[in-house]
Structure 1
Amino acid sequence: MYLKKMLVKNFRLLKNFELKFKEELSLVIGKNNCGKTSALIIMDKMLNSSKIMWEDINLECQKDIYKNIISEQDSVASLEAVNLKLFIEYNENDSYRNIQKFMMDLNPDNNIIVLEFISIMPINKIIKLKDIIKEKKIENFVSFSKFISKNFSNYFETKKYSRGFDIESDQITSARSEEIDNKDIQKVIKVLGIRADRAVSNDDRNHVLSGLTSKYFSSYKAAKDESGLIFTKLEETLEEADKELYKIYNGEQSESGESIDGIFSDVIGVIKNYGGTESGIDIAIESSISEKNLLLDNTNLSYRQGEDCSLPETYNGLGYLNLIGILFEIETKIQELFEQPADINLLYIEEPEAHTHPQLQYVFIRNIKSHIATHRNKFLREKNKQLQILITSHSSHIVSECNFDDIIYLKREGNEVIAKSFNSLKDKYGGDEQQGFKFVKQYLTINRSELFFADKAICIEGDTERILMPMMMHKIDNKETSSGDTVPLLSQNISVIEAGAHSHVFVPLFDFLGIKVLIITDIDAANKNDDGKYVKSHPKDAKYTSNASIKIFFKYAGLDTSENQFRELVEKRSEDKIQDNIRIAYQVPETDGGYQASSFEDAFIALNKEFILKNKEGLYEYGALKNFNESDISSDYYIFALNKVAKKSAFASSLLYFDDENGQENEKWNVPQYIEEGLLWLRNN
């Protein structure tokens, strides 16, 4: 038995939201403010009887409620606000004891039960509210919101139902339903969580981890046999301690008969003098050490330093405090669940990366699945119950180390949030075994899991563009033509990835992520030899491009059947280079009839000839260019780039070294037009 799916309506950003859970671990990822926390809170609130508030309701729904309340129509119907549906799947190996009440039909093929939670305003409360609005002269939505926010619980209530489900149509059958009680729900599913706002701190006054030892002990004791040897030994030790403390508190007689005062002897004597023995005032201070209080007030977590030294918990970094705190809480909450388990026990962990450096994030995600698997097996073996884990994160480090099959990607689209399983990306590539899908998974793991959290991306070919891209973005941002309302490129959430000649392989991934993408690539002038194979060509003689990304991008436009691909590509307008959220950029002449380049290097040299000549000696000493004369650079840029660029990466880094943004015109270089056009499109869209 496991929680298969949840549907949410009108809870914060989750206007119409569906999330399909994994049986073991669901890793929910996405940028900030994409609904990850909301998905946890709605379950927590509905299942743990926390109160829904007016501010929890989606803004559009709030306005619809307001319109219905102020409506002058005679007919009145109850108004629904937040709605949560949980779909639970079971099989013949599961016990039907707790789910019998929720099984709405006897169809043996139907193995789904549906629990529905609705925050609703009933008709009688609507009528009452209408009268109050007139009485208080509430005349706009703002005033209505302030009033209903303060009085929400007076008008809204939460109803819980078991709904019928048609397995063939995969739809809820509203004709079959029954109101249910929370105590019955808790037997079927429980939700406990570890929130992101954990109170770890390395303030000397803060001892959060030490306090967690008490919580862990309580859950440990509840889950174990209290008659066990370890608890017997603890009880005997505490009894001996109580006896010794009694003597220290109240005093005692030595073996020689001498009276030895205790800590409280003086005050006890004073009290006796006031009351006298005849009044019966004869007190003593008893020691009553309980296990819980002993741990709560007298236990410190420390860090071992060698064999004979330890340091307080606050002497370690926040990352370690956070990791240790999470592990303590995981163990404590799992033991709480194990003590009185439901059929399904869902533990969520929100943003485990908080305060934690990348290496610790790797350690956490590498170990959590096997760690939880041990507990899952114990739940199944000893209780025949299910343990599911849900982790939310916006850490690219955690994503790069996880099993991609566990990923559920949350993405905002307009005013709504959608959830996509990474497994659905397989279909776009044609299956798990397709080379393209394998390549993308491997690339994301090794290089760029940050793509999951980017708003935009730039695909580049290699080292040259990677080295120069930040400076080119800076130059575009600083141009006088920049609009004051436009967010600079360097202030936007843009991920730059080196795709080589394989940018086309990433297109299904970009579509899955729903982000804007600029592909910067070389036009790669070519012709065909007698065998029909592409060979490099001078751009003035070329009829083809050997660039696979360009050919696939324009395949829909019939580029592969063109008699002169190269000329057709050069003549394309800017708007022809955009498909959905993707724009492609390749070399074009800087001016009408100007030089047509084949690669970044000859495009740059043609545009920045004076800069190259000004820094000739430095570029030569830097190992960027081979020695040359002015006549070499003036005669043919393609041949010059082919023969005189010593090493592309050295050429790129030297351009950064010799560039003087505040100098004369020939002391700074300009961005080639094809890149500038692409970056401007990305910046403004």
Structure 2
Amino acid sequence: MKITSFVLKNYRRLAEVTLVLDDKKTVLVGANNSGKTSCIGALHTFLKSPDNLKLRDISKRNWKEIQKLGEQVEVKFPDSEEIENLSSTLTSLLPSLDIEITAKASEAYKARDILPDLEWCGGPLSVRITYEAVDVIKLCREFADMRAVVSEHGGTVSLWPKDLCDFLEKGQNFSKYIKQKHHILSKESEPATETEPATKEILQPLTSEALKKLIRVDVISEQRGLGAEDNTDKKGPYSEKQRLNKLLREYYERVLNPEDFPEADDLHVLGQQQSLENDFTKRLNNQFEAPFEELKSMGYPGIGGNPTVEISAKISGMDALQKSSSVRYRFDKAEEEFLPESYLGLGYQNLIYLTFRLLEFRDKWMRVGKSASSESDPEERIEPIHLVLLEEPEVNLHAQVQRVFISKAYDTLRNHYDLRDKGTGVDKPEYQTQLIISTHSSHIIDNMDFKDLRYFKRNNASTSIAMDHTSIANMSELFAKPKDELLFVRKHLKLTHCDIFFADGVIFVEGQAERLLVPEFISNRFPDLMNRYISMLEVNGAHTHKYRELVDKLGVATLVLTDLDSVDKEGKSCVPQKKSDQKTNNDILKKWHPNKESLDDLVDLSKEEHATISEGTPLYVAYQKPTEISGGEALSRTFEDALILANFEDEYFQNKPKLKAAKTAHEDGSGSLSESLYNYVKGLKKGDFAFECLLHLADNEANSFNPPEYIHDGLSWLEKQLSPKA
């Protein structure tokens, strides 16, 4: 039995998304503010803490619709039929979560509470969790009365409530009138009509306890607050601000405490503990004898049977773990020196914290130790599904620890004899662990199978950064059985960087020179792009087109800076010339965009045609175009000769004899500048050329290069794409 998917509606920017879960690990990735944290928060709210939902968790697009319902109530108080319609409309605007669980026919006894009918023989089962208005008449009456007061006394002063949203947001009104409901969801086949789809949803009431018997939910939020004191105010619906000693206390109390349901091995420890308590009690009462005598002079205990005061010492493992020094770090077991908990780096504190939380989740789920007796009903069956939500495990962990932790986290959750066969290491099917991780770390992604990624994609990227809604792209559709092109993409990303999954925009560059100098162009000419999260990948033109499927899936604005790569009729590299039947050897231009092979067609392409929409993804492909210089025209083939042309008068290039001679020949008409530059670049070591240019720029802050025109146009396009809406 396992969770197959979640369908979430009307929750913050996640207006309607489907999150397909892997059998084991599912990793949520995406740019900042794309909805990953909201998704974790939604699952926690729906499955574990239903009262956490607030008005502002409702998708923004629905606020005005809720306000309109309030306006209708103000104009005319609804009758019974209108109340029912109003309640139904309000429910449709509130968040809901559909959970699809797949089970075998042999597991029917586990899933009996959510079976849609007695004919079910294995397969998907669906449960819908909704938030619905309760006591709608009272809600409308109280709101209408409050608005009447505002209308009477408002005038020029803004009074509460301004509208129905404002009314629900204040105090406990939202939780008072909006409650969570559970339903079994099934579909009944019906003929399709002009107004109705072919199937109809059937909802059957379900108690919340039924789902809790199937799914155990545990959460580690990003607000771990390590290094803070125990009494730090908790913030957020599932904040975890606490120190390690508090974490160990909780683990001891729930799993290890010998005082709860003692076993034979616990009795010896308890006997020693009680002997110490008796000795310590005598000592304390002797020490406090004088103060207690002074208390008698104040008239206590006096007469009338008032009890006297004495001290009884209690010693336990919990007491030992109360102190801030209960967790400490020793360098050498043979020496006495140690460091208190707060002196260890936050990275190791976080690693220890995360590990113990996972251990606690697993052991409580499997009813290990005292937790077996501390559960509300010890006879209750262990939940068949354990869903663990882990937010940003990379916090305070350096790259290598991130890789190790993420590779071991799932194994830690399964390290129990009822969950995994110790001999073979194969998971046992009776209980299913499913781990959902949200992350911003490319190091974590680097150690994951890309099929486990779920990419949170901001919609409408073709116009600008859209902050309203998100969709989720399932990477398993690409990488579960990847084609040769995607095998290359997966290998290349793991060898370079996986930050493409977190970027606002992507730039593909052709070689090392562009990789070194394009950031310089951005810094000097496009400061707004410096404020965006740009992923730059160096991929040869023969391979960049292989990224097409991934780019289309991500939907992120993409700029490709590539080369014209002219070849003659025999397919050999040549000096680029118009009207010479030359072609391009660049697969990007031939197979992706603009899907042209003729050099003349490529050179004649208008600036507007360099931009396109590729399967919903904004794309701009830039390459060399003719340049007017000294009264003539020159055409470059690669970035290096294009850079020289764009800075031909610069002293740095004119100090090179071959380039100075090329300029003279071009001006007096004795030689072709395109040919001179082609031959010059052919004799270069491109890596040396790039580093020499970079050293020149670093030598003096006043030194700078103009970007070639095609690169300037491409960066201008990208800057416009990534500009916020006005």
TM-score of the two chains, using structure 1 as the length reference: 0.85
**Quick one: which of 295, 303, 308 aligns to 2:329?**
303
Q: State whether residues 359 and 412 of structure 2, in contact with CA within 8 Å, keep that contact through their aligned partners in structure 1.
A: no
For residues 679 and 8 of structure 1, the distance between their equivalents in structure 2, rounded to whole angstroms, comes to: 37
Q: How much does 1:570 deviate? A: 0.9
Residue 419 (1) aligns with residue 472 (2): yes
1:263 aligned residue (287, 312, 318): 287
- Residue 109 of structure 2 corresponds to 96
1:335 corresponds, among 363, 370, 383, to 363
SS in 2 for 1:390: strand
Whether 1:32 and 2:81 are equivalent positions in the alignment is no
Shift of 1:613: 5.6
Which range is displaced more, 26-35 or 390-399? 26-35
Matched, 1:385 2:412: no
CA contact (8 A) 2:187 2:201 kept: no
RMSD of aligned Cα (Å) = 3.4
2:157 is the alignment partner of 1:157: no
Structure 1 residues 223 and 518, CA gap change in structure 2 (3 angstroms): farther
1:421 is displaced (CA, Å) by 1.8
Instruction: Indicate if the aligned counterparts of 2:620 and 2:714 stay in contact, CA closer than 8 A.
Output: yes
Contact 2:644/2:653, CA 8 A, preserved across alignment: no
Deviations 1:12-57 (A, max 9, x none): 1121121111221111122222222222222322333431221221
CA distance, structure 2, for counterparts of residue 276 and residue 681 of structure 1: 89
Deviations 1:237-295 (A, max 9, x none): 31232123123213xxxxxxxxxxx3223234445776589979665422122433333
- Measure the CA separation in 2 of the matches of 1:382 and 1:496: 43
Instruction: Give the Cα separation in 2 of the matches to 1:411 and 1:328.
Output: 33
Residue correspondence of structure 1 range 110-129 to structure 2 within 5 A: 110-122=122-134, 123-129=136-142
Matches within 5 A, 1:269-284: 269-270=293-294, 284=310
Q: Distance in 1 between matches of 2:326 and 2:418?
A: 32
Q: Provide, for residues 469-526 of structure 1, a one-character-per-residue CA deviation record: whole Å limited to 9, x for no partner.
A: 111112322xxxxxxxxx7122222111001121111111111111111111111111
Structure 1 contact 397–449 (Cα < 8 Å) conserved: yes
CA distance in structure 2 between the aligned counterparts of 1:548 and 1:394, rounded to whole angstroms:
32
Q: What's the offset of the Cα at 1:355? A: 2.1
Q: CA offset at residue 321 of structure 1?
A: 1.4
The question of whether the paired residues in 1 share the 8 Å contact of 2:593 and 2:621 is answered with: no
- Displacement of 1:543: 0.9
The whole-number CA distance in structure 2 between the counterparts of 1:323 and 1:520 is: 41
- Could you tell me which residue of structure 1 aligns to residue 711 of structure 2? 675
| 1:357 partnered with 2:398 | yes
Separation in 1, partners of 2:354, 2:685: 49
Read off the aligned partner of 1:119 and give its amino acid letter. Y
Per-residue deviation at 1:646? 3.7
Aligned in 2, Cα 1:554/1:352: closer, same or farther, shift over 3 Å? closer
The reply to whether residue 82 of structure 1 matches residue 95 of structure 2 is yes
The match for 1:599 among 638, 652, 657 is: 638
Residue aligned with 2:321, SS: helix
1:510 aligns with 2:532: no
What aligned pairs does 1:485-524 form with structure 2 within 5 A after superposition?
Answer: 488-501=528-541, 502-524=543-565
The aligned counterpart of 1:59 is: 60
Shift of 1:662: 8.9
- Where does 1:638-653 land on structure 2 (aligned, <5 Å)? 638-643=675-680, 646-653=684-691
Match among 367, 371, 382 for residue 408 of structure 2:
367
Match of 2:620, SS state, is strand
Deviation, structure 1 residue 226: 4.7
- Aligned ranges 1:349-498 → 2 under 5 Å: 349-375=390-416, 378=419, 384-413=430-459, 414=466, 415-426=468-479, 432-477=481-526, 488-498=528-538
Contact 1:219 1:335 in 2 (8 A): no
Distance 1:463 1:397 in 2: 23
Give the corresponding residue for 2:269: 234
Q: How many residues align?
A: 638
Match of 1:289 among 310, 315, 336: 315
Match of 2:583 among 538, 541, 544: 544
Distance 1:384 1:552, change over 3 A: closer
After superposition, residues 4-19 of structure 1 pair within 5 angstroms as 4-19=4-19
Which residue of 130, 141, 146 corresponds with 2:166? 146
SS of residue paired to 1:60: helix
Q: Structure 2 regions of 5+ residues with no counterpart? A: 192-196, 233-241, 368-374, 376-381, 422-426, 460-465, 666-672, 722-726
User: Unmatched 5+ residue regions in structure 1?
Assistant: 251-261, 478-486, 620-626
What amino acid does structure 1 have at the position aligned with 2:584? T
Query: Identity percentage over the alignment?
Result: 25
Which is further off, 272-281 or 491-500? Answer: 272-281
Structure 2 CA distance for partners of 1:25 and 1:63, relative to 1, 3 Å = same
CA contact (8 A) 1:202 1:317 kept: no
Between the aligned partners of 2:42 and 2:720, the Cα distance in structure 1 is: 36
TM alignment of 1:183-198, pairs within 5 A:
183-198=209-224
Compare 141-150 and 546-555 and name the one that shifted more: 141-150
- One-letter code of the match for 2:405? F
Structure 1 stretch 66-75 or stretch 438-447: which is displaced more?
66-75
Q: Structure 1 residues 158 and 633, CA, compared in 2 at 3 Å: closer, same or farther? A: same
| Displacement of 1:299 | 6.1
| Compared CA separation, residues 650 and 584, structure 1 to 2 (3 A) | same
Give the equivalent residue in structure 1 for 2:279. Answer: 244
AA partner of residue 111 (structure 1): G
User: What secondary structure is seen at the aligned counterpart in 2 of 1:355?
Assistant: coil
Distance of aligned partners of 1:352 and 1:312 in 2 relative to their CA distance in 1, 3 Å threshold = same
Matched, 1:180 2:206: yes
- Normalised to the residue count of structure 2, the TM-score between the two structures is 0.80
* Structure 2 Cα separation of the partners of residues 241 and 43 of structure 1: 48
Aligned residue in 1 for 2:194: none
Amino acid at match of 1:212: L
CA contact (8 A) 2:13 2:469 kept: yes
Determine if contact 2:508/2:559 at 8 Å carries over to the other structure. yes
Deviation per CA, 1:320-341: give whole Å up to 9, x if none: 1112111122222332333353
| 8 Å Cα contact 2:566-2:574 kept in structure 1 | yes
Amino acid in the other structure paired with 1:683: E
Tell me how far apart the structure 2 counterparts of residues 358 and 332 of structure 1 sit (CA, whole Å). 25
Once the two structures are TM-superposed, the CA of residue 573 in structure 1 deviates from its matched residue by 0.6
Give distance in 2, aligned partners of 1:173 and 1:37.
34
Cα deviation code 1:637-666 (max 9, x no counterpart): 5434534654222222222333499999xx
Please say if 1:586 is aligned against 2:623: yes
| Maintained 8 Å contact 1:451/1:495 | yes
Distance 1:188 1:668, change over 3 A: closer
CA distance in 1, matches of 2:557, 2:447: 25
Q: Is the 8 A contact 2:359 2:413 kept in 1?
A: no
Residue 121 of structure 1, CA deviation: 1.9
* Residue 660 (structure 2) pairs with residue 630 (structure 1): yes
Tell me the CA shift for residue 586 of structure 1.
0.9
Task: Kindly state the Cα deviation for residue 537 of structure 1 after the two structures are TM-superposed.
Answer: 0.9
* Cα gap change, 1:166 to 1:392, in 2 (>3 Å): farther
1:679 deviation in Å?
Answer: 1.1
